[in-house]
Amino acid sequence: MTAKTAERPAPTRPQRRRISGGRKDTIASVFIHLELLVVALIVIFPLLWVVGASLSPGDGLGAVSPFPADATFDHYIDLFTETNYGRWYLNSLYVATLNMIGSVALAALCGYVFSRVRFKGRKAGMLSILILQMFPAFVAAIAVYMLFLNFGLLDSLTGLALVSIAAALPYNIWLMKGYTDNLPASLDEAAAIDGASRLTIFRKIILPLMRPMLTFVAITQFTLPWMDFILPRLLLQSPDKQTVALGLFQMISDEYSNAYTTFAAGAVFLAVPITILYIILQRYLVTGAAAGAEKG
């Protein structure tokens, strides 16, 4: 009904609106920019505040200001001389690198096989991976902790990386499989006619085409160990085996330590590289996450 009655005056309408809407448009524009400004301030302020805190002189939380008058880089120096931050950083880097390489390699291979090779048990395999993925990684982590505890396997960074790879593998396989499904099958058929083996097809044809998804998995799996807390908290114990996330949490949750500004420096030092990485690769990350959701 409404569409029909509106049909007649339609041709003149857009023009009229443009002429009469001049002032209304300006007001709307002001309001929109006002809203954007307010949101931008709310978004930036905490980040500015922690950067300010890391540059503030003094130690405590109470003395922190977002724009310190006498800014100092002392806390960044303290971070590497007074605390174990350098060690934690290297530990995290080690776990992150291992996690990234292992996840990408295994997920790409398994995803390709599940997508392109028909074999007995394929459906059952996909289904069990699907069910496995529904167990929160966290649930398995607690069981891994109990197992490792009783077998004396705790406190190994490589072990932590292996558990992380395994925990994320079901989801990553689904991602890779879903992505490979959408690649044209004619490509590998042509290569197969030319006599290429399956492994060659995978390496030379499918792998290069998988690049967007490989990037997505690589970035998420590289950044995960920097932020992950539960697994390292459960599996690592000795002071020189801590990761950055554990160390930072310890710094801030310790009631009696008065090192807030050093914590802030550590937080900034952790956040800056990851933030830059995310902003540069945002397109891959957003589309990758969307693709993951569609495939369950």
Partner 1 sequence: MSNAPRGHLPAPVPGLASALVWGAGQLINRQAGKAACFFVCFAALVGWEMGTGNYYAGMDFDARGNGGFFVKGLWGLFTLGSQAREVTLTGLTDGDNSIILLANGLIALLTLALLSIIWIWSIRDAARYRASLNAGGERESSLDYLKRLWEGAFAYIMLSPGMVLMVFMSVLPIMFGILIAFTNYNRDHLPPKNLVGWVGFDNFGAIFSVPAWTQTFLGVLVWTFVWAVVSTAAAYGFGFLQAVLLANQKVKFPRMWRSIFLLPWAVPAIVSALVFRSMFNGQFGPISQWLMDVGLTDERIYWFTDASNPNLARGIALLINLWISFPFFMALVGGVLTNIDDSYYEAARMDGASPLQQLRHITFPVVHRTVAPLLILSFVTNFNNFGLVYFLTEGGPDNADYRFAGSTDLLVTWLFKLTLNNQLYNIGAVMSLFIFLIVGTISVWNLNRSKAIREL
If the CB atoms of residues 68 and 170 are measured against partner 1, the closer one turns out to be 170
String marking each residue 190-229 x if it binds partner 1 according to CB under 8 A? --------x------------------------x--xx-x
CB nearer partner 1, residue 14 or residue 208: 14
Based on the shown chain and the rule CB under 8 A, indicate whether residue 146 belongs to the binding site for partner 1: yes
Question: With binding defined as CB under 8 A, does residue 21 bind partner 1?
Answer: no
Instruction: Collect all residues with Cβ–Cβ distance below 8 Å to 83 and sequence separation of at least 6.
Output: 247, 251, 259, 262, 266
Contacts of 176 (CB under 8 A, 6+ apart): 107, 108, 110, 111, 112, 115, 210, 213, 217
Q: Does 94 bind partner 1 (CB under 8 A)?
A: no
155: left (phi over 0), alpha (psi -120 to 50) or beta: left
Task: Give the whole-angstrom CA distance, residue 17 versus residue 15.
Answer: 5
Q: Give the pair of three-digit tokens for residue 89.
A: 């950083």
Alpha-carbon span 4 to 50, nearest angstrom: 57
Contact 127, 167 (CB under 8 A): no
Nearest approach, Cβ of residue 186 and partner 1 (Å): 19
Q: Any contact of residue 35 with partner 1 (CB under 8 A)?
A: yes
Nearer to partner 1, 62 or 208 (CB): 62
Check residue 95 for interaction with partner 1 (CB under 8 A): no
Distance CA 24, CA 219 (A): 45
Q: Which of residues 247-266 bind partner 1 (CB under 8 A)?
A: 248-249, 252-253, 260, 263-264
Number of residues that bind partner 1 (CB under 8 A): 108
Least distance in angstroms from the C-beta of 138 to partner 1: 6
- Contact segment (CB under 8 A) with partner 1 among 79-87, 91-99, 144-152, 209-217 equals 144-152
Size (the chain), residues = 296
Taking CB under 8 A as the rule, does residue 153 contact partner 1? no
